Chains A and B, each alone.
Chain A
Amino acid sequence: MGSPPRPPIAGLPEGLARRRDERMVAGVCAGVARWLGVDPIVVRLAACILALANGAGLLLYLVAWALLPEEAAGAADQAEAPGAGRGTKRGSQLALAVGCITLGALLLVRWITPFFLDQIVWPAAVAATGIGLVLARAGDSDRARWREAATRLPGNPVEAFRGGWMVWARVLVGAGLLIAGIGFFLSSNDALAAVGGVGIAVLATMLGGALLFSPWVARLVRQLGEERRERIRNEERADMAAHLHDSVLQTLALIQRHADTPQQARSLARRQERELRAWLYDGRRSSSSDAPGTLAMALDGVADEVEADHGVAVDVVVVGDCGVNEHVDALVAAVREAVLNAARHSGAGEVSVYAEVVGDGRIEAFVRDRGRGFDPATVNGDRRGITHSIVRRMARHGGWAHVHSAPGEGTEVTFELGLEAESTP
């Protein structure tokens, strides 16, 4: 069990596979039973009896576990899905089974050979239970990945027999140390020799193990890291696909249905464009500015709102940027009224908004359209009211606004606000 199971071997009988749905340990008995066409209990009993015969059954079981492929997922996945409680229950059952088998096997060996003592048997059984738990927790998909990764690695000790002399040498030295260590350990245990000897033996064993397995383990870890990254990439891709489906495809469908009303189609397209831009670049923008709100963001919000409600394109260009206080809020509100005014009355399809934070602590803003324009002296009451409200609002906050317009020439509203107004309320 310590070494990873090997991949399925060609030439195995068709249909002979470990079963996930009816397994007690790894599904070997259930798989063999189905292949033979008998009840799993029969095979399990046979295995247990064989296990008592010098551990032959256990050995066979382990070999079969390593050799037999696992049956395809699907039905088994569905059986696994409902409730995590069942999974943990089976996990502990599996751990208990592994522990019992190991314990039985070791007791058997102790009975045959005089070297094995109780202090080896019990810890080993506990360790095996632990390994069983870990394996059960890991789940089959993880184990399948380990196995797949393991077989691809040239450092695998099993694969070493195909490798060059360096690999051979490392395996030989490692195996030698391992054997020497175990031998030392056993003999010193037997004779109750000096504690130092035991230490050396343990050290030798660890060294051997490390030499034998470390390059392989390192590569395995690296490979698993790469696979994890790949998985994250796939998740991002799926995220992107979901977003495109939810928003972009829906909007495209809407645009096709509104093909005969160009105004509406254009407004849909603009809104989707803004949404997509925000989605693509939002993370970057929020990471580059610490302030929760800025003039640029506020004006973008105004543009979003007016475009959505009135179907005109609002182009926003902001040079420099600053945080938002009550005066800046007032400016943004005044700009919003001017943009709304242009969208409602000018008849232009496009409104330009330009704002600049000037070096000497002022904000200048311009709202411009190329619509029909008006004569500010003769304009009707409603429109004059809005104009006045813009001018008054700016005056209250220590700034000013000026409306420049003439029939047929479009309209431009100019705003100016001193930022130092914030320090003298």
Chain B
Amino acid sequence: MTPTAPTRVFLVDDHRLFLSGVRTELAGRVDIVGEAVDVESAVEGIRGTVPDVVLLDVHLPGGGGRAVIEAVHRTHRAVVFLALSVSDAAEDVIGVIRAGARGYVTKTIAGDDLAQAVERVRDGDAVFSPRLAGFVLDAFAGDLPPGTSLDPELDQITPREREVLRLLARGYTYKEIARRLEVSIKTIETHVSSVLRKLQLSSRHELTRWATDRRLV
């Protein structure tokens, strides 16, 4: 795809008021190819239009955002999802990320930031809100109990990734992090994508235990 073509975006949210708000904010910056208000119509619409990016509400009637990602990815692996939610509950956020979303932002995000996030996930990068970064730090904190088989590729984050995540949690943008660590933005994006991959694939027991136990809001 040429970078100049507008990103084709599909909106999924059961609150029509919110849908129309997002449509207004993104007007002119992206090409909105369709909308849906529940799981069934979303899967159908996404398969019909094959957009670049799906903006997906975490809470949806008929199985939640998770169900949409799983159904679409069975037939269209290339469609990219960015999760949007009012909920900051750990189990919701982690659930939708592990189902395959490339990022997570809260619904209070400003229009400019949202448009930027859409472009970022379209380009294959990950989008982390400060809170999601905090969740990941929590999930990958501490040592696993002895005897647990550990895949260092997936079950641990590197010190550098940790540094990046902490700056994200402190409210830094990618650009600010790059300047502070004196590396390129591309490097930061690589670190964050790598963390996202670990978050999705790691079998680290904290991921599930912590999601049900901590219930931080």
Q: Interface on A for B, CB 8 Å cutoff? A: 277, 281, 284-285, 288, 296, 315, 317-320, 350, 352, 354, 356, 359, 366, 368, 412
Contacts and interface: CB of A to CB of B under 8 A. Distances in A.
B217 A352 contact: no
A317 B215 contact: no
Contacts of A284: 215
Interface stretch (B13-21, B52-60, B117-125, B132-140): B132-140
A315 B130 CA distance: 9
A366 B167 CA distance: 10
Interface string B135-151: 00110011000000000
B215 A319 contact: no
Helix, strand, loop or mixed for chain B's interface? loop
B217 A356 contact: no
Contacts of A359: 141-142
A354 B89 CA distance: 17
Nearest to B170: A354
B61 to A, nearest CB: 18
B217 to A, nearest CB: 4
Contacts of B131: 315, 317
B171 interface: yes
A319 B141 contact: yes
5 contacts: A317-B134, A320-B138, A352-B171, A354-B171, A368-B171
A277 to B, nearest CB: 5
B175 to A, nearest CB: 12
Contact of B134 (A285, A288, A350, A354): A354
A281 B137 contact: no
Contacts of B171: 315, 350, 352, 354, 368
A352 B130 contact: yes
B169 A281 contact: no
Interface of B: 88-89, 130-131, 133-134, 137-138, 141-142, 166, 169-172, 213-217
A369 B172 CA distance: 10
Contacts of B215: 281, 284-285, 288
B170 A366 contact: yes
Contacts of A288: 213-215
A284 B89 CA distance: 11
B89 A281 contact: yes
B210 to A, nearest CB: 11
| Residue of A281, A318, A319, A359 most packed against chain B (CB within 10 A) | A319
A319 B138 contact: yes
Given A352-B170, A356-B166, A368-B171, A320 B141 contact: yes
A352 B169 CA distance: 9
Nearest to A357: B141
A285 B217 CA distance: 8
B217 A277 contact: yes
Contacts of A318: 134, 216
B195 to A, nearest CB: 14
B217 A281 contact: yes
B170 A319 contact: no
Contacts of A356: 137, 166, 169
Contacts of B213: 288
Given A352-B130, A356-B137, A359-B141, A319 B169 contact: yes
Contact of B137 (A315, A319, A350, A366): A319
Nearest to A288: B215
Contacts of B134: 317-319, 354
Contacts of B170: 317, 352, 354, 366, 368, 412
B141 A317 contact: no
Contact of B130 (A277, A354, A412): A354
A284 B213 CA distance: 10
A-B pairs, 8 with minimum CB distance: A352-B171, A317-B134, A354-B170, A319-B137, A281-B217, A317-B169, A366-B170, A354-B169
Nearest to B138: A319
A285 B131 CA distance: 17
| Residue of A315, A317, A366, A412 most packed against chain B (CB within 10 A) | A317
A318 B141 CA distance: 13
A315 B171 CA distance: 9
Given A281-B215, A319-B137, A354-B130, 6 more contacts: A285-B217, A317-B131, A320-B138, A320-B141, A352-B171, A412-B170
A359 B140 CA distance: 12
Contacts of A317: 130-131, 133-134, 169-170
B213 to A, nearest CB: 6
